[in-house]
Amino acid sequence: MVKGRGPISRHDWPKGLRMNLFTDIRALVLDTLDAMARDGAIPQGMQTGAVTVEPPRDAAHGDMATNAAMVLAKPAGKKPRDIAEDLAERLGADDRIESAEVAGPGFINLRLAPSLWQGIVRAALTQEGFGRSTMGQGEKVNVEYVSANPTGPMHVGHARGAVFGDALARLLDYAGHDVTKEYYVNDGGAQVDVLARSSFERYREPAAMTPEIGEGLYPGDYLVPVGEKLREIWGEGKLNSPEEDWLEEAREIATEAMMEMIRADLAALGVTMDVFFSEKALYGTGRIEDAIKTLDDKGLIYRGTLEPPKGKTPEDWEPREQTLFRSTAHGDDVDRPIMKSDGAWTYFAPDIAYHHDKVSRGFTQLIDVFGADHGGYVKRMKAAVSALSEGKVPLDVKLIQLVKLWKNGEPFKMSKRAGNFVTLRDLVDQVGADAVRFHMLTRKNDAPLDFDFDKVLEQSRENPVFYVQYANARINSVLRKADAMGIAVDDATLAEADLSKLDHEAELSLMRALAEWPRLVEIAAKGHEPHRVAFYLYDLASALHALWNRGNDEPGLRFVQEGDAATTQGKISLARAVGVVIGEGLGILGVTPVEEMR
């Protein structure tokens, strides 16, 4: 027997397809290799983990291609083409394979029988959550995202991180992981004191005691309600009080007010969190000390002196002994300070404690979504998690690049309410949550993104969210038309329709696009790349529109065939299957499908 195959159900095709057709055809290839090994055509016991079945680089070459002969040639001691020709002949004898042709040095291009593509349509109509995967096997994954300082409303940069993190969490859940969505509330640092002081100035404003917001304070009008809240609680009793009398209470009140605003902003974008974890809860509770002791027990904490940072000269560098984490033992470039010279923790120490808490909660995979300005923090955090988990828990840090806003061909003006930035709520109010979410995923997370208000709202192929929604609306219009003609269009009936006439190349092309969905889900989930879902939906919508437009010139390709209910049901089955996948994909993106364009 050849080795390397996972447990796969590969019988009764196309009935019962679950369905990742590429996985199923790979299973057929492995079964055929088993037969070749039994016949002595290739040695027994060869590893086949590297055998793939994928779309060919050129669609004209076939539906799928396998590298099996190329992978097995060396260990088998045979020429790739010799293995390929035998394998292709055997594959071609299977009634699921229309043709198997050897290409180049030994790749095999496969064309599938139309019944398999038609089986994809039935699978989409009969299987709840078509495309869902068990790949994750219930693995506990923590996705931390947004984690904005609670010092003001969410801005457009936060919007991109929020959308990416939320879509990634939805994607991982769809692929079979047990996902926790988490927000780390940075309420333990000096910036929260600045928030309290800024709020106190708003408290003093009605008494004409604050002529202007001082240097270094937050100037946004969003703090006016916080000042009013303080007046409700204090009256005028603390107008002249020293800071130590009001700072802590003002900090708590202002932080909670900001978190209420942030939760509301996230909700407007369709984002909800499972956990809000307070940084402040790490201080004075022994949790930081416990995390550092865990590292110390591993011999990773020491007193030492670091080399000057790059670019520093001996004149402007003062070496000093510090308490350091030996992060270089886990892949970092330099060891990192965890305690300041005055005995206070560095910013890194509570972050270590926070990730120690995540590992302690049983997560076996961690994902942090950071802004691009945190790029220098990646290696030290990976080193910390590696050390805390003894290398058992991977940390993937996804960096979110900047968003540039445009309107009327010019950079979008700043928000007075926020003080110095465009708010997330500004964005949602302008174009709607669905448009924001989809557009934020039209670029990979580490690529800059231009958000042009005019283009996001225009109704054209150049606007991906419109183009996908328009495809879904067209599908629903066909269903309504057929229903009005007395043709049953419920999924159960459509799944039993005669699909044998769905054999035109334009229809097969659309079915091939449908077949990519389960495979795409697993690829996107493995790579932590939800943007792939947005790209796929655009391509699927393009295939639907192409078939629709072709039907304008070729009546036989129209979804509704006047006077022929049976053929109409078959063709509408295909349209409805596309609608199912669009709905599943938009669900991952957090976008609501529209049934009618107005």
Sign of CA dihedral 320, 321, 324, 329: positive
- What mean pLDDT comes out for the span 265-276? 97
List the CATH number of the domain containing 522.
1.10.730.10
Q: Which residue has the higher pLDDT, 16 or 446?
A: 446
- What mean pLDDT comes out for the span 388-405? 96
Q: How far apart are CA 20 and CA 26, in angstroms?
A: 10
User: What's the pLDDT score for residue 312?
Assistant: 62
User: What's the pLDDT score for residue 342?
Assistant: 84
Do residues 404 and 411 touch, judged by C-beta distance below 8 A?
yes
Q: Is the pLDDT of residue 46 over 70?
A: yes
Q: Within a domain: residue 421?
A: no
User: What's the pLDDT score for residue 216?
Assistant: 85
Q: How far apart are CA 167 and CA 173, in angstroms?
A: 10
User: What's the pLDDT score for residue 471?
Assistant: 98
Closest by Cα among 345, 396, 408 to 164: 396
- What mean pLDDT comes out for the span 520-525? 97
Angle at 167 between CA 162 and CA 170, to 5 degrees: 125
Residue count (the chain): 598
Domain boundary among the residues 112, 145, 161 is at 112
Q: Within a domain: residue 367?
A: no
At 78-134, the pLDDT tens digits run 999 999 999 999 999 999 999 999 998 999 999 999 999 999 999 999 998 999 999
- What mean pLDDT comes out for the span 239-268? 96
The structure's pTM equals 0.92
Which residue has 């984490």 as its token pair? Answer: 325
At 500-516, the pLDDT tens digits run 999 999 999 999 999 99
pLDDT band at 13 (very low <50, low <70, confident <90, very high): very low
Q: Which residue has the higher pLDDT, 471 or 416?
A: 471
User: What's the pLDDT score for residue 296?
Assistant: 98
List the CATH number of the domain containing 28.
3.30.1360.70
Q: Within a domain: residue 108?
A: yes
Q: Is the pLDDT of residue 11 over 80?
A: no
Q: Within a domain: residue 500?
A: yes
Q: Within a domain: residue 566?
A: yes
At 310-344, the pLDDT tens digits run 766 666 667 788 999 999 999 999 999 999 888 89
At 455-496, the pLDDT tens digits run 999 989 989 999 999 999 999 999 999 999 999 999 999 999
How many domains does the chain fold into? 2
At 119-131, the pLDDT tens digits run 999 999 999 899 9
pLDDT band at 412 (very low <50, low <70, confident <90, very high): confident
User: What's the pLDDT score for residue 57?
Assistant: 86
Q: How close are the terminal C-alpha atoms of the chain, in Å? A: 59
Expressed as residue numbers, the domain containing 101 is 21-112
Q: Within a domain: residue 129?
A: no
Among residues of the chain, what percentage have pLDDT more than 90?
82
Domain boundary among the residues 112, 137, 166 is at 112
Q: How far apart are CA 322 and CA 99, in angstroms?
A: 69
Q: Is the pLDDT of residue 17 over 70?
A: no
Do residues 462 and 455 touch, judged by C-beta distance below 8 A?
yes
Q: Is the pLDDT of residue 1 over 50?
A: no
Q: Is the pLDDT of residue 364 over 80?
A: yes
pLDDT band at 350 (very low <50, low <70, confident <90, very high): very high
pLDDT band at 18 (very low <50, low <70, confident <90, very high): very low
DSSP code of residue 217: S
Domain boundary among the residues 84, 112, 140 is at 112
Please provide the average confidence, as pLDDT, over all residues in the chain. Answer: 92
User: What's the pLDDT score for residue 425?
Assistant: 92
At 545-571, the pLDDT tens digits run 999 999 999 999 999 999 899 999 999
User: What's the pLDDT score for residue 162?
Assistant: 98
Q: Within a domain: residue 518?
A: yes
Q: Within a domain: residue 414?
A: no
